[in-house]
Chains A and B, each alone.
Chain A
Amino acid sequence: MDIAGSFALLLAFVVAIYAFLAGIEGIRTRRSLLTKSARNAGMAVFFLVTFAVGALEYFFFTDNFSLPYVAEHSNRALPGFYKFAALWAGQEGSLLWWSWLLSVFAFLALFTNRKKHPELMPYVGVVIAGVQIFFLTLNNFVANAFNILGSPDANGVMHVATLADGHGLTPLLQYPEMVIHPPMLYLGYTGFTIPFAFALAALLGRYPGEKWIHITRRWTMVAWCFQTVGILLGMHWAYAMLGWGGYWEWDPVENASLLPWITGTAFLHSVMMQEKRGMMKVWNVWLVFTTFMLCILGTLLTRSGAVNSVHAFAQSSIGTWFVGFLAIILVVCFLAYWQNRDYLRSDNQLDSLVSRESSFLFNNLVLLAACFAVLWGTLFPILSEWVVGSKISVGAPFFNKVNVPIAMFLLFLTGVGPLLAWRKTSADALKRNFAWPSAGGLFAGIVAFVFGYRDFYPLVCLILSVFVVLTIFLEFYRGARVVAAREGTNLLSAVGALTMRNTRRYGGYVIHLGIVMIFIGIAGSAFNKDVQAELSVGQSMTIGPYTILCQNFDATANDNYQSARATLEIFRGGKSQMMLYPERRFFPASGETETMVALRSTPLQDLYVVYSGRSPESGNPVIHAFLNPLVKWIWFGGIVVVLGTGLAMLPNRRTALVLASVPEKSWDGTVAAGAPMQGVAAVARRADAHD
C-alpha cells in the first residue's frame, strides 16, 4: 500500500507536468484536442492525490508504524477521530493535504467550466497545474509522507522496520475543533489559488470583457468564507484549549492566516468598482495576486520555523522552497502585468470624493494598512536580526497598539460606505442618511460614559458599532418600506423579498452585521478579569458575581491519557447555578499535559475556569478563573458572517416582468383597450436592483 500511495503521488506529479506543458502547447498551437487532454490531466490529478491521501489514512487506521510519519503522529490508543486528523499533524501530511485540497478545487474549477469560456480555461488549467507541480514536488521529493523505516542491506534489498507503537498525536491537536479547523483554513489557503488562476489567466490571455472578474469574485467568496471559518475555529480552539483566557495572541501563524483574509476582504470590496464602473482593474488584479502570495507566505511561516510560534507544529528547512516559489510567482505576475498593462486600463474616472467609489478606495487603503502592519510586525524580528544582528520580540501589545486604531477606522467606513451613492452623493442625501445613525451612536456612547464605561477604545467601538448597525437597519427598513408599499405585504416579508432580490447587497450587510458583533465581542476583552488561587476541597473563591466552591478532585485514566479533574460548584447571588469540571490531561505517548477549560458562557460574559494543576511551591491545587465579557458575540458574529456570505453567493431572485394590458391613449386621444404594453413602472421597478 505504501508503494501504491507513493506511486500515485509520483504519477500525480507527472500528470500535473503533462497538464502544464500540454496546456501551454495547446494555447500556443490552438489545438483543441491538446487543450482538452491537458484539462483532463488536470482533473486526473485529483483522483491520484485522493488515492495517495486514502493510502496514508489507511496506514493511520491500521497502525502501520513502519512509516515514520504515522509513528510520529499517531499511536494505537489514539481514537479513530483523531487518527483521521493526524494526517495533517506534521509537515509531510499537511503538505499532502494542501495538494489534495488544491486538487479538489482544481477539479471543481475545471469540471464546472469544461464547456464554458474556451478562451480562458486553458490558461486557468496551466496556472493551476503550475501551482500543483510545486506542491507535488514537495510531496514527492522533499517531504514525502510515504518514506518507510528501514535500511537497505549489502545487496540493496530494503529491510523494513516497524515500531511497536507510535509517539502519539500532539495533545494540542486532540480537541474536536482541530479536526475541522485546519481543513477549513487550508480550504481558504488553497481556495485562493482558483481566483489567482482566473486573474492571471485573464491577464495572460487578455480575456475580453468583465466575465472573468465575476468568476474570480465568486471563487474568492468561497475561499474567503472558508478562511473566515478557519480563523474563527482557530480562535475558539485557542480559547477553549490553551487555558490562558484569550483567543488571539498575535502569534505569527495566527497572523499568517489573517493576512490573505484581509487582502481577500479588500478585493471583495474593490471588485465592485470594476464590475459597476470598470475601475481599479490593476488594483484588483494585484489584490488577487497578493492574496495568493500571502497564502504561500502563510504556509512558509507555518512550515519553515522562520519565526517562533506555538502553532508551528512542523518545522524544517523547507522554507527555501517556498521562498523560491514566491519569487517565481512574483516574477510571473509582474511580467504578465507589464506585458498586458494596457488591458487593465480603467473605463471610468472618479467623479467625486464623496461617493461609493472613494469609500471603497479608502476601505481598501485601510485594509491594506492593517495587512501591512500585521505583516511588518510578524516579519520584523527577522528583519531586525538581519540589520542589527540581534533578534527582538514583537508581542501582542505592539499589534494591539498599531491595529486597534486602524480597526476603528475600518469600522467607521463599514458604516459610511453603504450610505454613499455611486458617482456622487449630495449634501442632502448625506444629512438624510447619516443623521439617525450618528445620533444613535453618540447616544449609546453618552449612556455608556454615564454608566462608567470610559475606556477610550471600547467606547469608540461601541459608538461606531451602534452607528454601523443603525445604518444597516435603515438600509433594510427603507428598501423594505418601498417593497411593502408596492406589493402590499408586511414589512417582515418585504425584508425577505428585498434581500432575495439583491442577495449580494443585503448579504453584504448581513456580513457587516456579523463583523460588528465580532468587534463588540473583542471590545469586551478590555474588561476581562482573572483570579488565580490555591483551592482545597471546601474552599471557595470569588470573581465578579460568581463564587466558586471546590467540591472535589478526582483522577481517571484511559488508554490515551490520564485525567486530573476538579469538581467546582458555581454560585451566583447565593444560589447554586451549575457544576464545572476543568480538567488536566496527561498524554503518556508524548509526555505532554494539556488543559481542558470549563466554561459557563452567556451572551453577557463567560466564566472561564482552568485547573492549573498543583502549585510547584506549595503542592496545593490551583484554580484560575477568568470573567470574560461578551466573548460569545464573537462566535455568534462568526456564524452571522458565514450566513451572510452564503446569502451573498445565492443568485438574485429576478423581478418578474409582467406584460400587462395597459390602456394606452392613441394618437387621437381615445383609449385603445387591451393593447399589451410593457409598463414603464415595471421597468422602473427593476431599476431599484442596485448595489
Chain B
Amino acid sequence: MTRRVSLAIFAILAAALFLAYSAPAQQTAAQSARAKKLGNQVKCMCGGCNDAAGSCYHSGGTFSGPCPMALDMLKKVDAHVANNDSDSATLNAFVQEYGPLVLIEPPKSGFNLTAWIMPIAVPLIAFFAVWEVVRRWRHRAALTPTAGPTAPAVPHDLLERVQRETHKDDA
C-alpha cells in the first residue's frame, strides 16, 4: 500500500514537473505565433521594399531575409508580445512611431474605412442597378406583343417532321 502511495505521489510530482516545464514552452509557442501574426501586419519601413516586416525578403539586398530594419521591428513586436500588450496597443505603438503607413492594411477608422466599404458598397449598388434594369427589361418584354397571326406559319407536317427527326437524333 505504502509502495503504491509512494508511486502515486511520484507520478503526480512527475506530472506536475512536466506541466511546470511544458507550460512556459506552450506559452512561448503561442507568443511566437502571435508575434508572427503581428509581424505580418506591419510594413518594413526600410524604404527599399514593400514587404511586411514578418516576411521581408528584401529583393536585391545582400541577404534575402529580414533586413536590419525588419529585424529591429520584429524585435519590437516580440517585446510588446512579451509585455502582454494587446494587438491594437502593439499596432498603435507602431503607428505612433512610424505613422499610419506602417500598417499593411488600411485602418478601419475615419476616411480609411472607405477603403473597406467601397469594394462592398459599389458592387451592391451596381447589383441593385442591374436588377432594376433587368426588371424594366422584363416589364417591357411583357408589354411587347408576341408574334400573332401575321407571323409566317410553318406548315404543320414540316414542323412535325423536324420535331420527329431532331428527337430521333437526341435519343
Q: Which of A's residues lie within 8 Å of B, judged by CB?
A: 171-172, 242-244, 249, 251, 308-310, 349-353, 358, 361-362, 365-366, 368-369, 372-373, 376-377, 380, 384, 387-388, 390-398, 402, 406, 482, 485-486, 532, 584, 592-595, 610-616, 622, 624, 680-681, 683-685, 687-688
Contacts and interface: CB of A to CB of B under 8 A. Distances in A.
Contact of B106 (A392, A594, A611): A392
Interface in B60-80: 60-65, 68, 71
B64 to A, nearest CB: 4
Contacts of A351: 138, 141
B52 A395 contact: yes
A309 B50 contact: yes
Interface string B142-171: 001000000000000010011001100111
A377 B117 CA distance: 11
Interface centre among A349, A352, A372, A595 (most CB of B within 10 A): A349
B165 A350 contact: no
B115 interface: yes
A654 B5 CA distance: 93
Given A390-B99, A613-B64, 5 more contacts: A365-B127, A384-B112, A393-B43, A395-B50, A680-B162
Contacts of B101: 390-393
Given A387-B111, A394-B106, A395-B52, A350 B169 contact: no
B124 to A, nearest CB: 9
B105 A397 contact: yes
A594 B60 contact: yes
Q: Give the secondary structure class of A's interface.
A: mixed
B137 A369 contact: no
B69 to A, nearest CB: 12
Contacts of A309: 50
B138 A612 contact: no
Given A242-B59, A393-B105, A681-B169, A388 B110 contact: yes
B107 A365 contact: no
Contacts, number: 160
A611 B57 CA distance: 12
B49 to A, nearest CB: 7
Given A613-B64, A680-B158, A369 B111 contact: no
Given A172-B59, A680-B162, A532 B115 contact: no
Interface in B85-140: 99-107, 110-112, 115-116, 118-119, 122-123, 126-127, 130, 134, 137-138, 140
Contacts of A361: 130, 134
Given A310-B59, A350-B141, A680-B158, A612 B64 contact: yes
B31 interface: no
A-B complex: 9 closest residue pairs judged by Cβ atoms: A369-B123, A349-B141, A395-B104, A373-B119, A612-B64, A349-B137, A350-B137, A244-B57, A681-B165
A349 B122 contact: no
Contacts of B51: 244
16 contacts: A244-B55, A351-B141, A376-B115, A387-B111, A388-B110, A388-B111, A393-B102, A394-B115, A395-B105, A398-B105, A592-B60, A594-B60, A614-B63, A615-B63, A615-B65, A622-B65
Given A242-B59, A369-B126, A593-B62, A684 B166 contact: yes
Given A350-B141, A680-B162, A683-B162, A392 B112 contact: yes
Contacts of B41: 397
Contacts of B105: 393-395, 397-398
Contacts of B119: 369, 372-373, 376-377, 402
A390 B101 CA distance: 8
Contact of A392 (B100, B127, B141, B161): B100
